[in-house]
Amino acid sequence: MIRLISSSIFYFMNKDELRKTHLTKRRALSETEFRKLSVKISDLFFSSVDLSRIRTLHIYLPIESKREPDTWLIIERIRIGFPHIRLVIPRVKGDEMENIFFAGPEQLEKTKWGMMEPTQGVHSDPQNIDMVIVPLLAVDKLGHRIGYGKGYYDRFLKLCRPNCIKIGVSFFEPEQNITEKSNHDVLLNACLTPFQIYQFQN
């Protein structure tokens, strides 16, 4: 995001500022707004994304305390309407993220960090994943994303096939440009918002 300061110089927020700004914007949403925008994201996903060739889809489970877009709406609809797709969910182990096939809510428990994770299940090889729904705090118009700063998804996405489709999810439109970039960053192919899907050329 760019804001104009008194000296009439454009100031670019750094990653920490963008994280704080987007968390604040999320938490400012009323419960009604939060639910309405999550439904719009889910509806746009199914109207805009071709799932016919997707066999294995990794999707994050939303952290309620961080007001992440509600991906349960997507999960439930895929389980009912797209039986050919196997869902994979994340589990943090040390500095890495495991991929576990989703078998149902009874497989899950809440961690001390407030995340829902599978307690058991069959592992999925990242090379077999066709699409990843990626959590983020901010994204720019080139597909650079800002997460929570731990690097779990960047390390995981590097293990996926080059043609794996990576779609971010955000309540807000992309920033113009995220200036702090790293060699570890993995670009997204697209980002879903409540009103538009942004596709990135990379």
Q: How confident is the model at residue 149 (pLDDT cuts 50, 70, 90)?
A: confident
Backbone conformation region of residue 94, classed left if phi is above 0, alpha if psi is from -120 to 50, else beta: left
Q: How confident is the model at residue 5 (pLDDT cuts 50, 70, 90)?
A: very low
Tokens of 8: 């009439």
The model's pTM: 0.89
pLDDT given for residue 15 in this prediction: 83
Contact 117, 126 (CB under 8 A): no
Q: What is the pLDDT of residues 57-87, one digit of tens each?
A: 999 999 999 999 999 999 999 999 999 999 9
Is pLDDT of 55 > 70? yes
Q: Domains for the chain: give ranges and CATH numbers.
A: 13-199 (3.40.50.10420)
How far apart CA 74 and CA 70 sit, in angstroms, is: 8
188 closest CA partner among 169, 171, 177, 75? 169
pLDDT given for residue 195 in this prediction: 94
